[in-house]
Amino acid sequence: MKAVMIIIDQAHYNEIVENLSRLNIRGFTSWKEVFGRGSKTGEPHYGTHAWPSINNAILTVVEDNRVAPLLKYLKRLDAEAENLGLRAFVWNIEEMI
């Protein structure tokens, strides 16, 4: 099993949630109004007058074979609107109950 943390501009949220189902990924947890800035490029997402954009975060735990299709989809979405910002991080899940 793998955990995939997806940090996205709020504009991507609904589309990604809809596509999780299409990718046979049912379970996820999300956080809205996540603030931060990228380590390399992109504008800050602080939800302020100067930097009004806001991020959302989605965490899903999936079988190993579901990671590649998910990342492929996310890379394509990021390429379509690079200025919005999208990052995904994958790590191993040792145990689940």
In a domain, 70, yes or no: yes
CATH code: domain of residue 66:
3.30.70.120
Asked whether the predicted pLDDT for residue 17 surpasses 80, the reply is: yes
Q: How large is the C-alpha radius of gyration of the chain?
A: 14
Q: For the chain, what is the domain count?
A: 1
Asked whether the predicted pLDDT for residue 12 surpasses 80, the reply is: yes
In a domain, 97, yes or no: no
- 26-52: pLDDT as tens digits: 999 999 999 988 877 778 889 899 998
In a domain, 59, yes or no: yes
In a domain, 29, yes or no: yes
- 40-97: pLDDT as tens digits: 777 888 989 999 889 999 999 999 999 999 999 999 999 998 888 899 999 999 999 9
Report the pLDDT value the prediction gives residue 77, as an integer from 0 to 100. 96
Report the pLDDT value the prediction gives residue 85, as an integer from 0 to 100. 84
Residue of 90, 86, 33 lying closest to 59 (CA atoms): 90
Domain span at residue 73 reads 2-92
In a domain, 33, yes or no: yes
Distance (Å, rounded) from C-alpha 2 to C-alpha 39?
Answer: 23
How many contiguous H segments (helices) and E segments (strands) does the chain have? 2, 4
